[in-house]
């Protein structure tokens, strides 16, 4: 551990009446950040070998997960036709005593096997994904910030699985008598005491969502992606980093540097993964998704994920993609505004990637050779043989 720097202490009068001592915890933590080198950050060389090491570490830091999977026990609650297609509300079991409500959105003019986007909201809840009132799902509402992800997917010919994340919406705490004003706080602290993290638990829900999609029989499992805003963007990134069945990703209003966002500005406790910053910055974690297509979305005036930090992190992410020959699969979309999704700017970029993915698959099919990647590169081969339990 490096020795702390020595410095003279100004008098209280010279400090303008303020204490001449370093009393704020953030000062000490910033000193630690300034003197810590991330030991598993990408620094050049073989991308795949680096990914194996960092992915194993991130997986461990996210905490314990079930060693075996329980039955999904899928139940349909209702099914309705809409102008854009069919919306079905289901519930599946992720792990014992952890049921997951979700909307399954199938576009009207699409035919199976469907391309699916797993869609994740933040604190607002999954009802925003289909533009309905949280208390009355027959009542349509106007959704701010282009967060109606399910409807957005259907309008573009994509199917969507809109998952309710733990602690949000219908999965808010209902049993505990005294709860924090922040709905995610109590469960996050409980998870830590049990050797888990809320991020890890939410990623596991995404994995079980993938199990559900695979069980349907009408899903193109090579064309399943993930998107989300804010807290949904958080889990979009970590899921993309760890779950090999995801083929494209669109995190919104989360990607930045840890230093400039959650380590400098107040954020909910569910954003934090103990020990992670000793090993990697955010670009490294997102870089575990390379060479698969990623569209990073941000707002130029987002107050909690500052653009300067986003651009710095994206520069490093771009270098990781370039190192595996997939620089043109890595995109940054900047909307003119704050903490929200930017559909008009982001969707065209993602749809171009999906079109290219289709062309690449047709080409490789004609040559009877799957590379496991969707970009023009020669030396990188993603491992497509996944174990049944992706967290093992």
* Tens-digit pLDDT profile for residues 23-35: 899 999 999 999 9
Fold for the domain defined by 47-366: Rossmann fold (3.40.50)
CB 166 within 8 A of CB 145: no
How many distinct helices (H) and strands (E) make up the chain?
Answer: 9, 9
Q: What is the mean pLDDT of residues 60-83?
A: 97
Residue 16: pLDDT band (50, 70, 90) is: low
- Per DSSP, the three-state class of 128 is helix
Question: Does pLDDT of 367 surpass 70?
Answer: no
Of 48-57, 153-162, 264-273, the one with minimum mean pLDDT is: 264-273
Bridge partners (DSSP) listed for residue 249: 226, 294
CA-nearest of 154, 124, 128 to 142 is 128
Structure tokens at 54: 């960092």
Q: What is the mean pLDDT of residues 60-69?
A: 96
Question: Does pLDDT of 179 surpass 90?
Answer: no
Structure tokens at 369: 């050779």
Residue 177: pLDDT band (50, 70, 90) is: confident
What local confidence, expressed as pLDDT, does residue 364 receive? 62
The span from the CA of 335 to the CA of 129, in Å, is 20
What is the separation of C-alpha 278 from the centre of its chain, rounded to a whole number of angstroms?
Answer: 20
The span from the CA of 172 to the CA of 183, in Å, is 6
What local confidence, expressed as pLDDT, does residue 361 receive? 73
What local confidence, expressed as pLDDT, does residue 171 receive? 87
More confident residue, 206 or 388: 206
Question: Does pLDDT of 124 surpass 60?
Answer: yes
What local confidence, expressed as pLDDT, does residue 52 receive? 98
Structure tokens at 331: 């995109």
Q: Average per-residue pLDDT in the chain?
A: 89
Pairing of strands 330-335, 294-299: parallel
What local confidence, expressed as pLDDT, does residue 272 receive? 96
Structure tokens at 53: 């090491």
The model's pTM: 0.89
Buried/exposed code over 267-294 (b: 16+ C-beta within 10 A; e: otherwise): ebbbbbbeebbebbbbbbbbbbbbbbbb
Structure tokens at 213: 């999609």
The span from the CA of 1 to the CA of 35, in Å, is 9
Of 74-78, 170-174, 329-333, the one with minimum mean pLDDT is: 170-174
Structure tokens at 364: 């490789």
Q: pLDDT per residue over 46-63, tens digit each? A: 999 999 999 999 999 999
């Amino acid at each position: 551990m490096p020795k702390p720097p020595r410095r003279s202490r100004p008098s209280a009068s010279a400090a303008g009446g303020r204490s001449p001592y370093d009393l704020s915890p953030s000062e000490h933590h910033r000193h630690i950040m300034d003197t810590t080198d991330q030991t598993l950050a990408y620094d050049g060389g073989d991308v795949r070998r680096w990914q194996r090491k960092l992915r194993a570490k991130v997986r461990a830091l996210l905490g314990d997960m079930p060693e075996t999977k329980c039955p999904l026990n899928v139940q349909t609650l209702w099914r309705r036709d809409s102008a854009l297609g069919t919306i079905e509300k289901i519930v599946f079991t992720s792990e014992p005593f952890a049921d997951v409500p979700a909307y399954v959105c199938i576009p009207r003019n699409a035919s199976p096997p469907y391309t699916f986007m797993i869609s994740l909201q933040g604190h607002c809840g999954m009802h925003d994904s289909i533009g309905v009132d949280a208390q009355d799902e027959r009542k349509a509402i106007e959704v701010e910030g282009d967060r109606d992800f399910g409807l957005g997917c259907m309008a573009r010919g994509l199917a969507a699985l809109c998952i309710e994340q733990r602690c949000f919406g219908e999965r808010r705490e209902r049993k505990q008598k005294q709860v924090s004003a922040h709905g995610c706080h109590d469960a996050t602290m409980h998870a830590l005491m049990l050797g888990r993290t809320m991020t890890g638990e939410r990623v596991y829900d995404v994995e079980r969502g993938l199990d559900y999609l695979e069980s349907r029989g009408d899903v193109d499992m090579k064309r399943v992606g993930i998107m989300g805003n804010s807290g949904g963007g958080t889990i979009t990134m970590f899921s993309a980093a760890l779950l090999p069945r995801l083929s494209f990703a669109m995190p919104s209003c989360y990607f930045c540097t840890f230093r400039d966002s959650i380590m400098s500005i107040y954020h909910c406790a569910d954003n934090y993964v103990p020990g992670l910053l000793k090993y990697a910055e955010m670009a490294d974690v997102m870089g575990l998704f390379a060479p698969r297509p990623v569209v990073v979305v941000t707002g130029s005036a987002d107050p909690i994920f500052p653009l300067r930090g986003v651009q710095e992190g994206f520069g490093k992410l771009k270098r990781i993609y370039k190192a595996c020959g997939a620089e043109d699969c890595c995109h940054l979309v900047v909307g003119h505004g704050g903490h929200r999704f930017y559909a008009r700017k982001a969707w065209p970029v993602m749809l171009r990637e999906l079109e290219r993915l289709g062309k690449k698959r047709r080409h490789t099919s004609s040559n009877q050779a799957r590379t496991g990647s969707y970009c023009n590169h020669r030396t990188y081969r993603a491992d497509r043989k996944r174990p049944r339990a992706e967290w093992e």
